[in-house]
């Protein structure tokens, strides 16, 4: 049982545990050509958030990974069989309810770890940031944090080399939550805060998470 994964832990563990930062992994349910599963984005969101949280937790960060949202925006593929579209307006309602809980319970930082290109939470988080002024909200797009050209021979888009390398590796890897090659742990974090769009420089996604909860003294929150 990993204490930083809400879906695995229990109330005995969480009751007296202080959490500073919640991570909300967000995927999609959509076709990925003929060879990758509909859950590919959701698998990525699960694994990358879990591994990032593990690194942060072991550095002393009080982080909790919420259950992954499996439905994303698929308005561009509405004709693809069993692509399950969730509209941005619905995502806003989901986010508002989750943020309301976190805000009420004093968990004042939320990272949405987005693993689907059709999702974009910036505007939603900007709006909710005004409504919940005590919350620090940001999104991290996993596919923007590394230059894929440094890792893959063939550039592309959906269900491409990046998807292959990542997902095949994850699916073949028997240890949940581990990415031993580490190449999908980003070294340039792109985050969008609720108080503007200033990028936050970081070494990796886990550094971003560490930054968010303030255990890395080199990183200060931008104004």
Phi and psi at residue 199, in whole multiples of 5°?
A: -70, 145
- What part of residues 74-133 is at the interface with Zn ion (CB under 5 A)? 116
Helices (H), 105-165: 122-131, 161-163
Q: Which of 41, 44, 83, 166 binds Zn ion (CB under 5 A)?
A: 41
Out of 5, 28, 73, 128, which residue is the one contacting Zn ion (CB under 5 A)?
A: 28
Does 167 sit near Zn ion (CB under 5 A)?
A: no
Judged by CB under 5 A, the stretch of 22-30, 74-82, 99-107, 142-150 that binds Zn ion is 22-30
* Stretch near Zn ion under the rule CB under 5 A, chosen from 21-29, 89-97, 129-137, 215-223: 21-29
Cβ-contact 62, 108 below 8 angstroms: no
- Residue facing Zn ion at closest CB distance: 116
Element (H, E) at 196: none
Go through 89-117 and write b for each residue having 16 or more CB atoms within 10 A of its CB, e for each that does not: eebbeebeebbeebbeeebbbbbbbbbbb
- Asked if 45 touches Zn ion (CB under 5 A), the answer is no
Does residue 222 contact residue 212 with C-beta atoms inside 8 Å? Answer: no
CB of residue 30 vs Zn ion: minimum separation in angstroms? 6
Interface residue list for Zn ion (CB under 5 A):
28, 41, 116
């Amino acid at each position: 049982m990993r204490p930083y994964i809400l879906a695995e832990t229990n109330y005995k563990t969480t009751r007296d545990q202080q959490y500073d930062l919640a991570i909300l992994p967000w995927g999609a349910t959509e076709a990925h050509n003929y060879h990758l599963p509909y859950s590919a984005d959701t698998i990525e969101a699960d694994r990358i958030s879990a591994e990032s949280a593990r690194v942060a937790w072991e550095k002393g960060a009080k982080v909790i990974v919420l259950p992954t949202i499996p439905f994303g925006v698929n308005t561009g593929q509405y004709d693809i069989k069993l692509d399950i579209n969730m509209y941005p307006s619905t995502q806003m309602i989901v986010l508002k309810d989750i943020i309301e809980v976190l805000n009420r319970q004093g968990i004042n930082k939320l990272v949405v770890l987005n693993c689907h290109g059709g999702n974009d939470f910036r505007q939603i988080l900007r709006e909710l940031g005004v409504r919940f002024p005590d919350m620090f909200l940001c999104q991290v797009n996993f596919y923007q944090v590394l230059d894929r050209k440094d890792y893959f021979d063939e550039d592309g888009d959906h269900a491409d080399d990046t998807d292959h390398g990542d997902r095949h590796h994850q699916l073949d890897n028997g240890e949940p939550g581990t990415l031993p090659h580490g190449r999908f742990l980003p070294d340039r974090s792109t985050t969008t805060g609720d108080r503007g769009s200033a990028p936050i420089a970081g070494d990796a996604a886990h550094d971003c998470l560490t930054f968010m909860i303030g255990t890395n003294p080199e990183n200060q929150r931008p104004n």
